Amino acid sequence: MSDPTRPPATVTVLPPGRRPTDHRAVPLLTEPDLQHYPEFATFLRDAFGLDRDPLGAPGLLDVEGRVYALVFLGRSGRPFPSGVEIHALVPGLEPIDDERADLDLWAILRWIVAGVGGEWTLEGLTTTGRIYRVPGA
């Protein structure tokens, strides 16, 4: 479990044109069916302006200087986005720092859950992380 006295990493939405060049995408997490949790789809649609540009570039998040791409998935007959993939953007052929990526993924999940709100709480996410032993939880 992460240190509770350590402040959580800051997550910021970046404009689509801010994707770093010469970086490759490394998939970290896939949620293929957001319709199980429609409030998550609504939050992501609002946070990234997907109503205005559903076919635009992937959403970008900055986690304390490291950039992650959210690739939004669509399915025929389903509200958009129907799913999401989170990719770490890693410079060139550098190896991914698995521990840092796990902590950053945890920060991104905290950001999403805090943004969704309602019955979705950070305490519930932390408990789920402990149950499933999610790295960084």
The two structure tokens encoding residue 73: 């998935």
Residue 17 exposure: Cα atoms within 13 Å on the Cβ side: 0
pLDDT for residue 3: 45
Q: Comparing C-alpha atoms, which of 126, 121, 47, 137 is closest to residue 84?
A: 47
Contact 85, 27 (CB under 8 A): yes
pLDDT digits (tens, 9 = 90+) for 10-35: 999 999 888 999 999 999 999 999 88
The pLDDT profile of the chain, 137 residues, written as one tens digit per residue, is 444 445 678 999 999 888 999 999 999 999 999 888 889 999 999 999 998 887 888 899 999 999 999 999 999 998 899 999 999 999 999 999 999 999 999 899 989 988 888 887 777 777 666 666 655 55
Looking at residue 5, its pLDDT comes to 45
Give the pLDDT of residue 4: 43
Domain-by-domain residue ranges, the chain?
A: 11-132
